[in-house]
Amino acid sequence: MTTRVALVTGGIGGIGTSICRQLAQAGHRVATNYRDRAKAEAWQAAQKADGFDFVIASGDVSDVAAAEAMVREVEAKAGPVDILINNAGITRDTTFHKMSAMQWQEVINTNLNSCYNVPRPVIDGMRTRKWGRIVNLASALGLVGLAGRTPYTASKGAVVQMTRTLALE
């Protein structure tokens, strides 16, 4: 098997940690991002205690420039990204009439815009190498509504459609 470099956004969390571990067990070099350095270092130490060695890179996936800088840091530490798992996601649960514009934007920027921000700096390399995988995690809530989760369901539904369309490209 060829060792690939995998980047998992939102890897310092439940589902993300499981994805990181599965990819490492499959023989890949795995990287993830963080916004909170102390939390990331504690997570990394716990992973090392369990026998996993992950690359961690600073990066806010909701910001275009920060996402690109994160990808460049991962590439400098681990090599070109071959597998990208867009796992980062947040929710700001409240009913729409109580929701602030900032709450809406935080969810859309993290859950949806990150699916542009992070792949954009890796996709050209994947195309040049003629190999790459991009996996966007969504949610069943992207297909059905749920009161109090308007931006979450909207963002995840958009991720589903974006993924379908990107696959056609």
Q: Catalytic residue at 152?
A: yes
Task: Identify the active-site residue in 115, 137, 152, 156.
Answer: 152
Cα–Cα distance between 145 and 156 in angstroms, integer? 11
| Residue (of 30, 24, 35, 25) closest to 7 by Cα position | 30
The strand pairing partners of 56, in sequence order, are 32
Please tell me the distance from the alpha carbon of residue 70 to that of residue 103, in angstroms, as a whole number: 24
Which H or E element spans position 77?
helix 64-78
Q: Which residues are part of the catalytic machinery?
A: 152
